[in-house]
Amino acid sequence: MKHDYKLTAVVRTELGKGASRRLRRANERVAAIIYGGSAEPTPIAIDKPAFYKSLEDEAFFSSIITIDVDGKSEQVVVRDLQRHPYKPLVTHADFMRVDATHEITLTVPLHFTGEEECVGVREGGGVIHVLSNDVEISCLPADLPEYLEVDISKLALGETLHLSNIVLPKGVSITALTHGEDYDAGIVAVTHPTKGTTSDDDDAQDPEGQTAADNGDQ
């Protein structure tokens, strides 16, 4: 089920660092900008409570968002967030307009399923290694998925699933694969458990790599 994110904002008429500081001190809105498409970039200030609540959802970053700006609705996606260096605050947000007739490129999360049934773990004693948690896709706004699901239940010990193994919804493509097979990166693998490399002989070596027996001969 797709989420329906709606935010409220006003146009920012006061710009600059001083205005941004005053906005943060008021603690009611967050500075942002909407850009893209044929319209001019629009500096806005988003109502903070609803914005911060939306940020708690993973799906917010891969969804079409409706922002009501002084009574006018804008369809956007999140492009960038600037955060305070040590406080849990967003100091600025960038939103890009979307057009229903034009494809957008966005990074969406990967959700792995079937871990408990994974053949390589249950029968081979292997360990699951996630190599990528998200992937960049292209599609029309109406086809944008909040995430892509990857079933690893049949993944055997020593095997790796790649980008090309992801089952894609209709109308969605993975941008890396448009560049050719060389860009078909691994996303998850089942490997042998890591074995310790330290042995009794290693413990007997001095800092220069000589064994105790070697030192005794000199």
**Residue spans per domain, the chain:** 5-97, 104-191
pLDDT tens digit string along 5-26? Answer: 999 999 987 666 666 666 666 6
**From CA 29, how far away is CA 89, in angstroms rounded?**
12
CB 99 within 8 A of CB 141: yes
Q: Which amino acid makes up residue 130?
A: V
Q: Which fold does the domain 5-97 belong to in CATH? A: Ribosomal Protein L25; Chain P (2.40.240)
- pLDDT value at position 19? 61
Per-residue pLDDT band for 211 (boundaries 50, 70, 90) equals very low
Residue 107 token pair: 């990074």
- Identify which has the larger pLDDT, 144 or 3: 144
Residue 53 token pair: 């609540």
Q: Which sign does the torsion angle of CA 114, 64, 38, 13 carry?
A: negative
CB 62 within 8 A of CB 135: no
Out of 2-11, 156-165, 193-202, least confident range? 193-202
CB 58 within 8 A of CB 109: yes
Global confidence as pTM: 0.79
Please state which of the four CATH numbers 2.30.38.10, 2.170.120.20, 3.30.70.260, 2.60.120.10 is assigned to the domain occupying 104-191: 2.170.120.20
Q: Stretch 196-216: mean pLDDT, rounded?
A: 44
22's enclosing H/E stretch is helix 17-26
